[in-house]
Amino acid sequence: MSVKSQNRVRLLAAALVQFLAAAMATAHAQDAAAVDDLARCKSDTTIKCLDLIQVTATRRPESTLDVPAATTIVSAEEMRNAAPQTVMDALHGAVGTFVQQTTPGQGVVIVRGLKGSEVLHLVDGFRLNNAIFRNAPNQYIALVDSQAVDRIEVVRGPSSTLYGSDAMGGVVQMLTTEPHFDGNEWQYDGRLRFMFGSADRMLLSRAEFATGHDGLAISGGATYQDVDDLRVGGGPRLGPSAFTAHGGDFKLRAEIAEGHELTASAQYMKQPRTPRYDALVPGFRQTQPDNATFFFEPQERRFAQLRWRITKPNALFDTGELHLGRQDIVDDRRTRAPGSSNEDHEQNRDELTGVTGQFGKAIGESHYLSYGFEMYRDEVASNRTRLNLNSGVVIPRAPRFPDGSAMDTAGLYVGDDWRIGDRLDLNYGIRYSRYDIELASMPEFGLVGVRLKPDDLTGNIGLAVELSDNLRFISNVGRGFRAPNIFDLGLLGERPGGRFNVPNPGLQPESVLSFDAGFKFGSERLVGEVIAFRSQYRDKITSVLTGAGQTADGVPCATPGVPSTCLAVVESRNVTELNLWGIETGARYYMAQPKLELYATATYTRGDEEFEGAEYSADRIPPLFGKVGALWHARENLSLEAYTLYATRQDRLSPRDAIDPRINPDGTAGWATLNARVGWKANEHFDLALRMENLSDKRYREHGTGLDEPGRNFIFSADYHF
- Per-residue pLDDT of 161-204, as tens digits, reads 999 999 999 999 999 999 999 999 999 999 999 999 999 999 99
- The model's pTM is 0.91
Is the pLDDT score of 39 beyond 70?
A: no
Is 150:176 a contact under the CB 8 Å cutoff?
yes
Question: Given pLDDT bands bounded at 50, 70 and 90, which one contains residue 52?
Answer: low
pLDDT tens column, 77-93: 999 999 899 999 999 99
pLDDT tens column, 206-252: 999 999 999 999 999 999 999 999 999 998 999 899 999 999 999 99
The DSSP code for 697 is -
Is the pLDDT score of 659 beyond 80?
A: yes
pLDDT tens column, 125-164: 999 999 999 988 889 999 999 999 999 999 999 999 999 9
- Which backbone phi and psi does 536 adopt, to 5 degrees? -115, 110
Task: Compute the half-sphere exposure of residue 76: CA atoms within 13 Å on the CB side of its CA.
Answer: 12
- Give dist(CA 403, CA 171) in Å, integer: 29
41, 178, 355, 514, 654 from 126: Cα distances, Å: 29, 16, 9, 25, 34
The string of DSSP codes covering 456-514 is EEEEEEEEEEEEETTEEEEEEEEEEEE---HHHHH--EEETTTEEE---TT---EEEEE
- Identify the burial level of 328 via C-beta atoms within 10 angstroms of its C-beta, where 0-12 means exposed, 13-18 middle and 19 or more buried: middle
Is the pLDDT score of 704 beyond 60?
A: yes
Is the pLDDT score of 14 beyond 60?
A: no
The DSSP code for 91 is G
Task: Compute the half-sphere exposure of residue 558: CA atoms within 13 Å on the CB side of its CA.
Answer: 0
Q: Give Cβ neighbours of residue 3 (< 8 Å, ≥ 6 apart).
A: none
Q: Which residue did the predictor score with more confidence, 568 or 225? A: 225
Is 470:525 a contact under the CB 8 Å cutoff?
no
Is 121:91 a contact under the CB 8 Å cutoff?
no
Lowest mean pLDDT among 148-157, 326-335, 491-500, 693-702: 491-500
Is the pLDDT score of 654 beyond 70?
A: yes
Is the pLDDT score of 299 beyond 70?
A: yes
Sign of CA dihedral 52, 56, 59, 65: negative
Mean residue pLDDT across the chain: 90
Can you list the domains of the chain with their CATH numbers? 3-721 (2.40.170.20)
- Which backbone phi and psi does 104 adopt, to 5 degrees? -60, 150
